[in-house]
């Protein structure tokens, strides 16, 4: 497992760009909400910890992970510096898992190609609920924290690369 020896919540604050002027959109799937709320908390807390004002964080909820694509596309229009897509898809007994995971992954990738506003992929694709718990504030830390740090870094990259 990629997270076996890594805590997703660990970061060196000294290496994080100044984020106090940035605005972030967070689009959260309501499906598996015990997991997505944990991920949101990790992302929100990390943004605040790095100087982002609460008024500069916009949250929208969408029904499921597949709807993250449209929600993020619309969020890119909200004068934000980066968007974080938060979802959780847990393996079931059918191929639905594969279709949702592939669609969301490709959709968010497409948004990053089409738009100048980065979208950070914070969608857990786990085999079990326990794995999701461990990555949304459990023993492996919080993928939401990791996504927020990535969003800050990408917002800074976007900002510094403008002519």
Tens digit of each residue's pLDDT (9 = 90 or more) over 119-136:
999 999 999 999 999 999
For residue 92, what is the enclosing H or E element?
A: none
Average pLDDT of every residue of the chain: 93
Q: Which residue has the tokens 């919080």?
A: 142
The catalytic residue positions are 96
Residue 137 has pLDDT above 50, yes or no: yes
Of residues 60 and 12, the one with the higher pLDDT is 60
Q: How confident is the model at residue 150 (pLDDT cuts 50, 70, 90)?
A: very high
pLDDT above 90 covers a percentage of the chain that reads 82
Residue 1 has pLDDT above 50, yes or no: no
Residue 163 has pLDDT above 60, yes or no: no
Q: Which residue has the tokens 């799937």?
A: 29
Of residues 97 and 2, the one with the higher pLDDT is 97
- Pairing verdict, β 136-138 and 141-142: antiparallel
The residue-averaged pLDDT of 41-66 equals 97
Of residues 140 and 6, the one with the higher pLDDT is 140
Q: How confident is the model at residue 4 (pLDDT cuts 50, 70, 90)?
A: low
Judged on CB neighbours under 10 Å (0-12, 13-18, 19+), 82 is: buried
**Alpha-carbon torsion 1, 35, 133, 49, what sign?**
positive
pLDDT at 93: 81
Q: How confident is the model at residue 9 (pLDDT cuts 50, 70, 90)?
A: confident
| Strand ranges (E), 13-148 | 24-29, 57-62, 82-90, 119-126, 136-138, 141-142
pLDDT at 3: 54
């Amino acid at each position: 497992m990629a997270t076996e020896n890594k805590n997703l919540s660990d970061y060196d604050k000294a290496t994080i760009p100044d984020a106090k002027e940035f605005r972030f959109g967070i689009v959260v799937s309501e499906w598996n909400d015990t997991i997505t709320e944990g991920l949101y908390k990790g992302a929100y807390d990390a943004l605040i910890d790095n100087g982002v004002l609460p008024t500069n964080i916009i949250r929208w909820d969408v029904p499921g992970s597949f709807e993250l694509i449209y929600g993020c596309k619309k969020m890119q229009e909200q004068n934000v510096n980066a968007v974080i897509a938060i979802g959780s898809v847990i393996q079931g007994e059918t191929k639905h898992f594969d279709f949702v995971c592939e669609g969301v992954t490709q959709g968010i990738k497409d948004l990053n190609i089409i738009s100048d506003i980065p979208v950070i992929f914070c969608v857990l694709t786990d085999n079990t609920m326990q794995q999701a718990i461990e990555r949304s504030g459990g023993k492996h830390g919080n993928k939401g924290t990791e996504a927020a740090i990535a969003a800050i870094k990408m917002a800074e990259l976007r900002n510094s690369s403008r002519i």
